[in-house]
């Protein structure tokens, strides 16, 4: 939702080189809202938080377009990297990105909830042999919350720049989380 004209032109050129006759760009939060079933043509305000791999796009949408938007370079990749580093530091266990993603999806949360755990398999950093540890959701919460807080601060900042009428709509309907947004649910 927040790209330069040069980046926009590069995307259009890539689409045309791939064989498209015409290329239309749509802002990611608008596409996420449509995908979540939001009627974007309505005059009420909706806030969309789309957590992608490398960025999180936050937008207020009304009357079919974006009223205000922010994009920050905090996304699922940072959550995954934090999980990898934590497990290496605490358990001396090496895991890959796919395992970190599975952990994030299965037991990751940034707020208190019913504790869960899972067995994590990896390679012992010293001996190199396979090993497994039990990892709890409770120990991950403070690790993941650090990045979620950055997203929450950006949400707050965007709300401060949004008209009171639209903020009232958002307060009534809630914030729509897409992508990795399930981590933030209940925050």
Res 110: pLDDT: 84
Statement: residue 183 has pLDDT above 60: no
Statement: residue 99 has pLDDT above 70: yes
- Nearest-angstrom CA–CA distance, 107 and 58: 24
- Nearest-angstrom CA–CA distance, 152 and 177: 12
Provide the 3-class DSSP secondary structure of residue 46.
strand
Q: Per-residue pLDDT averaged across 124-151, rounded?
A: 94
Instruction: Look up tokens 């605490």; give the residue.
Output: 90
pTM (two decimals): 0.80
Q: Per-residue pLDDT averaged across 138-161, rounded?
A: 94
């Amino acid at each position: 939702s927040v790209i330069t004209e040069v980046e926009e032109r590069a995307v259009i050129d890539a689409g045309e080189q791939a064989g498209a006759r015409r290329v239309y760009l749509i802002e990611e939060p608008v596409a996420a809202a449509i995908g979540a079933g939001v009627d974007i043509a309505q005059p009420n305000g909706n806030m969309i938080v789309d957590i992608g791999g490398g960025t999180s796009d936050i937008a207020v949408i009304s009357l079919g377009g974006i009223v205000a938007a922010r994009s920050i370079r905090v996304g699922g990749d940072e959550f995954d990297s934090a999980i990898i580093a934590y497990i290496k530091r605490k358990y001396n266990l090496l895991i890959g990105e796919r395992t970190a993603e599975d952990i994030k999806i299965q037991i990751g949360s940034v707020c208190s909830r019913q504790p869960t755990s899972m067995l994590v398999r990896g390679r012992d950093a010293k001996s190199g042999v396979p090993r497994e540890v039990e990892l709890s959701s409770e120990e991950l919460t403070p690790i993941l919350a650090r990045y979620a807080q950055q997203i929450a601060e950006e949400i707050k900042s965007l709300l401060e720049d949004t008209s009171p009428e639209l903020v009232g709509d958002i307060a009534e309907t809630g914030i729509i989380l897409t992508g990795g947004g399930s981590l933030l649910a209940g925050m």
